[in-house]
């Protein structure tokens, strides 16, 4: 069942039920104290009218002042709780994203731009601020409305009608504006992210947009996206404006009506001056509370939209590893594909069609073929990123689906198209701070991929900081870092997609010689346009249009 934004918000708040109950408890207490103040003022006015200055008058003044201070203290306590709540929301959301983004099924990223999905994290800030405001303002306002109506009804039954009108107004505003308000808020948010996404593209390809025509194109596209954003923003604002207009009309009518009714009741001696003043104070408190709720609806829409945007990330399916109690030790790994087919969900055609293939331990295999022949998809199925639509994949004569993905991946090394170094030191990029990796392993990996001379030339060596995507590195050195990362644990299988294609010819040959050397017992499966792989690999598999047309042992 698809969750609505309201369901998502409710589920989110349930996680901190205890804190929220405390906020409501303080709101109830503060509401009672706030509404007891008019009673104190009423009593003070009655004493003043009688012309007596007594100890009772002084005591009442002190009580009212203490009440005002107590409401302030309770507000501070609410702020402390909501601050804790904001911190919990931020921490929980950050770990939710960092847990899910690497585990989201590869198919779910199809037609998605991962950095744009990561940008949804900024909606956490909206939830933080909005949820805090809603909990304090809405809880206090609702309770003041309820207590105020009850208290007013004790002064005179006519005020019961005021309460009914008030409740009807709130119902009408929610009933006829909620759906459209949320819809326009969602569309506004959609184009807000499109604008941010386009700005990211301009920044990522800033050199391309420096030409005059390209620069003008960037501005025109930005103008188009911003226009769509403003269109839905304006529609959303018109709903908020309509709600606020209804509130102003209500305030004018209610204020005029209650002043007239209150004056009439005083003149007919059904209320005294003290009760009239207290009633008007209560009415102003109630009307201000209604105003808080109506004005806060925009925040409510923003929070629901933010929860929905983040919910779209948490709805994406993640990989589930098998619950294996005993760790499997792979001495050798053989792979066998049997009648494998694969296509993306929105595509009518198969990318892979009836793939039958057996890969023995220590084979060095080149996947050859034109672009679009299915090489990349086959590699991604073999390394566990994609699940076949039909057919079976066996690892050591066991069906792939029964193998724990984490255990299998711990035995393989990969470099896939588009993979780059991440922000951090060179050492972190190679080892991921794995404490079990020794200095000898690091030196071996670095020297094997011809990265040593470059690292020695750096003032900070392995501790040199790398920018996102390795921006300050040459493309050759960036690939060498990825290569060192892929072999650092001496894996059983290596899967490479164009892993050396940006290196100088002679360096690439030396690295290929190392990767295909007999003393390295790993199995190697590579797709590349570098013709030297054909000379060094023990087997060449040629693909076209998703099928294997030739499978030849070359050595």
Quick check: 340 and 400 in contact, CB under 8 A?
A: no
Distance CA 478, CA 327 (A): 33
Render the burial of 227-253: b for 16+ CB within 10 Å, e for the rest. Answer: ebbeebbebbeebbeebbebbeebeee
Residues 364-396: tens digit of each pLDDT: 999 998 888 899 999 999 988 888 888 888 888
- Pairwise pLDDT comparison (136 vs 483), residue with the higher score: 483
542 has pLDDT over 90: yes
Distance CA 382, CA 344 (A): 17
Triad 95, 98, 104: Cα angle to 5°: 125
Arithmetic mean of pLDDT over the chain: 83
Sheet with 364-368: list strands edge to edge: 412-415, 493-497, 523-527, 364-368, 539-544, 547-553
Distance of CA 89 to the CA centre of its chain: 12
Q: Is residue 63 exposed (0-12), middle (13-18) or buried (19+ Cβ within 10 Å)?
A: middle
Q: Average the pLDDT over 336-362 and give the result.
A: 87
Give 548's DSSP letter: E
Least confident of 222-236, 318-332, 408-422, 423-437: 318-332
Nearest alpha carbon to residue 6 among 438, 305, 430, 404: 305
Q: Which domains, from first to last, does the chain contain?
A: 5-314 (1.20.1560.10), 335-553 (3.40.50.300)
Triad 77, 80, 82: Cα angle to 5°: 110
Q: Is residue 97 exposed (0-12), middle (13-18) or buried (19+ Cβ within 10 Å)?
A: middle
pTM: 0.78
Distance CA 354, CA 342 (A): 9
Residues 160-218: tens digit of each pLDDT: 777 777 777 777 777 777 888 888 888 898 898 889 889 988 988 888 898 888 999 99
410 has pLDDT over 70: yes
Residues pairing with 338 in the sheet:
392
Q: At which residue do the structure tokens 């203290």 appear?
A: 73
Quote the pLDDT of residue 537. Answer: 92
Least confident of 3-12, 197-206, 327-336: 327-336
Q: At which residue do the structure tokens 């404490």 appear?
A: 435
Distance CA 308, CA 3 (A): 9
pLDDT band at residue 462 using 50, 70 and 90 as cut-offs:
very high
Render the burial of 487-522: b for 16+ CB within 10 Å, e for the rest. Answer: bbbebbbbbbbbbbeebeeeebbebbebbbeeebeb
Give 393's DSSP letter: E
Q: From residue 299, how far is each of 65, 133, 187, 375, 395 by CA, in Å?
A: 33, 8, 16, 50, 53
Quote the pLDDT of residue 58. Answer: 62
Quote the pLDDT of residue 482. Answer: 93
Q: Are strands 390-395 and 335-342 parallel, antiparallel or unpaired?
A: antiparallel
Q: What is the DSSP string of 132-158?
A: HHIIIIIHHHHHHHHHHHHHHHHH-TH
Q: Average the pLDDT over 336-365 and give the result.
A: 88
Quote the pLDDT of residue 430. Answer: 93
In this structure, the chain runs to a length of: 555
- Pairwise pLDDT comparison (99 vs 54), residue with the higher score: 99
Nearest alpha carbon to residue 155 among 65, 280, 33: 280
Q: From residue 503, how far is each of 58, 421, 500, 512 by CA, in Å?
A: 89, 16, 6, 11
- Pairwise pLDDT comparison (142 vs 555), residue with the higher score: 142
Q: Average the pLDDT over 8-30 and give the result.
A: 78
Q: What residues contact 114, with CB distance under 8 A and at least 6 apart?
A: 101
Residues pairing with 495 in the sheet:
414, 525
Distance CA 485, CA 437 (A): 11
- Pairwise pLDDT comparison (75 vs 457), residue with the higher score: 457
Quote the pLDDT of residue 443. Answer: 94
Distance CA 333, CA 353 (A): 24
Quote the pLDDT of residue 153. Answer: 75
């Amino acid at each position: 069942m698809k969750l609505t934004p309201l369901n998502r918000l409710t589920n989110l708040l349930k996680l901190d039920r205890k804190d929220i109950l405390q906020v409501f408890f303080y709101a109830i207490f503060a509401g009672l104290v706030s509404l007891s103040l008019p009673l104190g003022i009423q009593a003070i006015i009655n004493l003043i009218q009688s012309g007596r200055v007594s100890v009772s008058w002084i005591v009442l003044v002190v009580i009212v002042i203490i009440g005002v201070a107590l409401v302030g203290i309770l507000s501070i306590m609410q702020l402390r709780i909501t601050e804790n709540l904001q911190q919990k929301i931020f921490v929980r959301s950050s770990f939710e994203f960092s847990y899910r983004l690497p585990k989201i099924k590869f198919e779910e990223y199809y037609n998605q731009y991962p950095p744009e999905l990561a940008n949804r994290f900024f909606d956490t800030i909206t939830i933080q601020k909005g949820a805090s405001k809603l909990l304090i303002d809405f809880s206090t306002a609702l309770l003041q409305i309820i207590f105020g109506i009850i208290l007013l009804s004790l002064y005179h039954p006519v005020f019961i009608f005021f309460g009914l009108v008030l409740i009807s107004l709130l119902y009408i505003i929610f009933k006829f504006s909620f759906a459209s308000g949320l819809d326009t808020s969602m569309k506004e948010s959609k184009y807000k992210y499109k604008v941010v996404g386009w700005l990211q593209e301009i920044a990522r390809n800033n050199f391309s947009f420096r030409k005059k025509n390209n620069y003008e194109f960037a501005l025109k596209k930005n103008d188009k996206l911003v226009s769509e954003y403003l269109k839905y923003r304006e529609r959303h604002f018109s709903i908020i404006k309509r709600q606020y207009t209804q509130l102003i009309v209500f305030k004018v009518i209610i204020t005029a009506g209650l002043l007239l009714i209150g004056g009439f009741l005083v003149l007919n001696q059904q209320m005294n001056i003290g009760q009239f003043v207290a009633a008007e104070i209560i009415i102003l408190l109630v009307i201000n509370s209604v105003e808080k709720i109506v004005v806060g609806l925009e925040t409510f829409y923003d929070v629901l939209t933010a929860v929905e945007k983040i919910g779209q990330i948490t709805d994406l399916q993640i990989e589930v590893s098998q619950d294996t109690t005993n760790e499997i030790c792979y001495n050798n790994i053989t792979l066998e594909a049997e009648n494998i087919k694969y296509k993306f969900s929105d595509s009518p055609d198969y990318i892979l069609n009836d793939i039958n293939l057996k890969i023995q331990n220590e084979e060095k295999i080149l996947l050859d073929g034109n672009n679009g022949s299915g090489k990349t998809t086959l590699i991604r199925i073999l390394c566990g990123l994609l699940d076949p639509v039909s057919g079976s994949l066996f690892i050591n004569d066991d069906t792939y689906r029964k193998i724990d993905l984490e255990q299998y991946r711990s035995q393989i090394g990969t470099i896939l198209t588009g993979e780059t170094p991440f922000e951090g030191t060179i050492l972190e990029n190679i080892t991921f701070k794995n404490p079990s990796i020794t200095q000898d392993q690091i030196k071996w990996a670095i020297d094997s991929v011809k990265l040593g001379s470059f690292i020695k030339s750096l003032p900070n060596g392995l501790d040199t900081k790398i920018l996102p995507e390795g921006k300050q590195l040459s493309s050759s050195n960036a690939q060498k870092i990825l290569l060192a990362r892929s072999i650092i644990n001496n894996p059983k299988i290596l899967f490479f997609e164009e892993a050396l294609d940006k290196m100088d010819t002679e360096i690439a040959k030396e690295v290929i010689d190392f990767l295909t050397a007999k003393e390295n017992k790993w199995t190697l499966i590579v797709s590349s346009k570098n013709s030297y792989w054909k000379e060094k690999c023990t087997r060449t598999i040629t693909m076209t249009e998703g099928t294997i047309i030739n499978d030849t042992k070359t050595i």
